[in-house]
Amino acid sequence: MYRFTRPASVAMMALLGLPLLALADDTLVLYTSQPNTDAQQTVDAFQAAYPEIEVEWVRDGTTQLMARLQAELSSGVVRPDVLLIADSVTMESLKRDDHLAAYESEEREAFDEGMYDPEGYYYGTKRITTGIVYNTRAAEQPERWQDLTQPAYEGQVTMPSPLYSGAALIHLATLTDAPELGWDYYEALAENGVTAQGGNGGVLNDVASGNKAYGVIVDFLPIREAAKGAPVKFVFPEEGVSAVTEPVAIMKEAAHPEAARKFVDFVLSREGQELVLSQGYLPGRNDVDSPEGFPPREEIHVLPLDAQSALEQAEAHKQRFAELFGG
């Protein structure tokens, strides 16, 4: 956790007899699941744009942050003003339980409608897609999801488990909802000896080491490692890719709503999205280019996700997946 305070300012205002409420929106409390370096860069960029706003931020995995937030909600003391977390399904659960504030940011005009909640309860800030990685020494060069079900790939494919990975759960919800794939596709994967493991990092290690020739993985990991010389190549399958959008949202209980709205606008702005680009991610905003190693954004076909349906079916999806691939 990082805290930034202005004790001198507070003391001076008290000395002058000025109301401390004047400092109310000079503060912002952020809960984020961004990697530490990305989170620090995001906070630094926001404070450069709004030097009058102090930022206190807490960084952890989305699951851990939500456990912390639920404990705070139960106690009646909610600390964060704004959330910047991994996926829209988690945001949908908070919206359902009436914990988010609607805000119609003017920046939404530069985003596809599927990138944000139509009522303004949350906004995707980037697209972290899931596709196929293969070892450059592998015999095959897959181009489609269906390739992984073919005999030439039998026993050579690994993927993250939706029992542990939020991106994998969204990937499962997306592909099973696609008419040309569905649960038949996952059954074919199981029959072809595809193995499931904890997270995306393990998939990358297995494929880069040659332990497995092929894998299902989020885009930026193999693209970054390939740029460093790792023997891996990432493929955006022809049928389309799933995506997590790292959405931002304002808490209904926010103590600093004006600062929270400024933060939302900033991360959605061109400046905020250029930061996403510099970090090596595909920005959510349509007028910002793809990062190095990615195809042009118009060539990336993102399959639709019904976040509300994915939330409602999450436990059933996990159970059926466990039946096919084990826990």
Tokens 């040659």 correspond to 210
pTM (predicted TM-score): 0.88
The pLDDT score that the predictor gives to residue 63 is: 87
CA dihedral for 19, 20, 22, 24, sign (positive or negative): negative
Alpha carbon of residue 181 to chain centroid: 23
Could you give the CA distance from residue 4 to residue 271 in angstroms, rounded to a whole number? 23
Strands (E), 236-299: 242-244, 247-251, 282-283
Shortest CA distance to 31 belongs to which of 284, 246, 236? 246
**Can you name the residues that pair with 27 across neighbouring β-strands?**
54
Q: Which segments of the chain belong to CATH 3.40.190.10? A: 7-125+245-294, 128-243+302-325
Q: Counting runs of H as helices and runs of E as strands, what totals does the chain give?
A: 11, 13
The pLDDT score that the predictor gives to residue 25 is: 66
Question: What CATH number should be reported for the domain whose range is 128-243+302-325?
Answer: 3.40.190.10
Q: Mean pLDDT in each 10-residue stretch from start to end of the chain (327 residues)?
A: 37 39 72 96 98 96 93 93 96 97 98 96 98 98 98 98 93 97 98 96 97 98 97 98 98 96 98 98 97 94 95 96 92
Determine how many CB atoms are found less than 10 A away from the CB of residue 172.
Answer: 27
Tokens 């905003």 correspond to 285
The pLDDT score that the predictor gives to residue 172 is: 98
Q: 7-125+245-294: what CATH class?
A: alpha beta
Could you give the CA distance from residue 102 to residue 178 in angstroms, rounded to a whole number? 30
**Can you name the residues that pair with 37 across neighbouring β-strands?**
none
Shortest CA distance to 132 belongs to which of 237, 264, 22? 237
Strands (E), the chain: 27-32, 54-59, 82-84, 100-101, 123-124, 126-135, 157-160, 195-197, 214-218, 232-235, 242-244, 247-251, 282-283
In this structure, what token pair is assigned to residue 115? 């990138």
